[in-house]
Amino acid sequence: MTTTPVAAVTRFAPSPTGHLHIGGARTALFNWAWARKLGGHFVLRIEDTDQARSSDDSTRRIIQDLAWLGVHWDEGPTLKTNGATLGGDPRAVGPFFQSKRLDHYRKYLDQLLEADLAYHAFETPDELKELRDQARRDKRPSRYNRAALDIPRNERFKRAAAGERCVVRFLVKNEPVTIHDEVLGDVTIAAGELDDFVIRKADGYPTYHFAVVVDDELMGVSHVVRGQEHLINTPKHAVLQRALGFKTPTYAHLPLIFNAQGGKMSKRDKDKAVRKVCRDADLAAPPAGTIDADTFSAWLKDKNRQLDTGDLLALAAAVGVTLPEIDVEDFRAAGYLPEVVCNYMALLGWSPGDDLEKFDMNFLAENFSAARVGKTNARFDYKKLLAFNNDAICEMNDNVFADRWWKWARQFAPDLLAALGAADAINDRFRLLAEASRPRSKTFRDAAVGARFLTIADDAIEYNEKAVVKTLLKNDAAGLAVLRHLRADLANCEDWSPPSLHALIDSFAEFHEMGMGKVAQPLRVALTGSTVSPPIDASLAVLGKASVLARIDRCLSVIAAPASAD
């Protein structure tokens, strides 16, 4: 029973059977925004009645991803984050896990059974499969034939009470069902199109359709935003609501989010990306230390087969594929800013008007309306999101970037912090690296990749062959000569700060009548193995004098100059 009425209640109700998909995150965002716009509450409810697939780990990840995005719920499971507590049960409408609400479902299930608006059905899975197969052979829609209703009512109840395996089906009236949608208008399902659908499974747990209807009523949900893939379910929910005497919430069904190829964004996109590289490379066997050869062969031949997450990640790393981001956790790991992800997600189906594209969460909360949600499917543009993120990083000051990058690196690049001695707190080396990395980083991961050379031991640098030829060996090994002569100047340098080091390199280049690039690039190859790094003066300063000299010495000993060189 509610204690304090609120103007409106929206909810996000994920099933904890995997990661939080970007489409689910958008649904949560729009429900949050609608609740804020209407001055109401946003509820987080965990629909964990699928006992075989639900997991506590998935629940934890979904909750943390929502908190990271800033999509904060008023009621639901509690989470302490950044000194605040999200969730709770101020209106006393919990619990917020469906697996703990079974008594509620039993009450309303019994109500429908007693009123003969639902009935027990005892067919086995094999019998139901035969019914579907026969319908397919007859080229007609598969519909349950209501054979259970031929069993006397008392007998059905007795058999169910005795523990015989059965489901409960809702008795659908033969009449059209019309629902009003704030995005799509009136949607009508013709009489006879709805089957007598299952509302309680054989394991005793409610189906999604039944649980969501009961929970929405008891939690006072007044507005529901969800994807258009759920539109097919809404008539079922409407007939249940009418049978139970419940209110029907205001519905708004969102357009789908497609990938660049016009398909639904899914984990399959990751498989496709890796499979394409493996096929293009004509790999006959998986790289050593990745996955089983038979598994690899079967997966490579069957485009519908998917690798499990661990195998896919191992294979992607081995063949050098950056997997497309699909789940919120992917975007977190890639180093995107949560406010940018939310800004971009909001544009996938909703328009603020006036050609405005960049706005914050407060703007979304103040201006959201279902009337500005489009009907056509949205297409996810990774380049546009990346551009948004790049702009946001460029607008940060160095201290803010350092602080946020460090927090990201604690989870996703701990080896970098360990190499800099910054695992427990930001220090001068990390702050210097952050200042040097920010202008050339579109994401936090970009910055970490650019600084990867700092995590490699001085004697373990691997040299890019093209960089060696172009930068060190070209023109009779002019680059190696630069390193030999520059090493002495660096060894004698006492002020190991970026300004001092920049002046040293500039003076060396001027004395030898060469451009800065002719000095900096050979030095980069010696220090990092490639021609890409943060500004060379900052790279030298962060790496430290001892490591710089050791890496130059190793490069000179490992890279052999042509016999004709001095």
Give the residue numbers marked as catalytic: 267
Scan for tokens 């992607």, then name that residue.
316
The answer to whether 416 touches 423, Cβ cutoff 8 Å, is no
Euclidean distance between the first and final Cα of the chain, in Å? 89
CA distance 166 to 286: 47
CA distance 55 to 39: 33
The answer to whether 63 touches 24, Cβ cutoff 8 Å, is no
DSSP string, 482-495: HHHHHHHHHHT---
- Non-local (6+) Cβ contacts of 137 within 8 A are none
Paired tokens of 176 = 């059209």
The kind and range of the H/E element at 416 are helix 414-420
The answer to whether 113 touches 119, Cβ cutoff 8 Å, is yes
Rounded alpha-carbon distances, angstroms, from residue 471 to 31, 449, 462, 562, 565: 55, 21, 15, 14, 14
Cis peptide before 414 (omega within 30 of 0): no
CA distance 247 to 214: 11
The number of beta carbons lying within 10 Å of the beta carbon of residue 380 is 20
Query: What backbone torsions phi and psi does residue 409 show, to the nearest 5 degrees?
Result: -65, -30
Rounded alpha-carbon distances, angstroms, from residue 318 to 6, 277, 325: 54, 11, 18
3-state secondary structure 298-316: HHHHCCCCCCCHHHHHHHH
The answer to whether 470 touches 562, Cβ cutoff 8 Å, is no
The answer to whether 69 touches 21, Cβ cutoff 8 Å, is no
Measured in whole angstroms, how far is the alpha carbon of residue 340 from the centre of its chain? 14
CA distance 379 to 256: 8
**CA atoms in the 13 A half-sphere facing the CB of 263:** 9
Bridge partner list, 186: 180
The kind and range of the H/E element at 253 are strand 250-254
The residue type found at 234 is T
The residue type found at 196 is D
CA distance 118 to 110: 9
Q: Where are the beta strands (DSSP E) in 156-222?
A: 167-170, 177-181, 185-189, 198-200
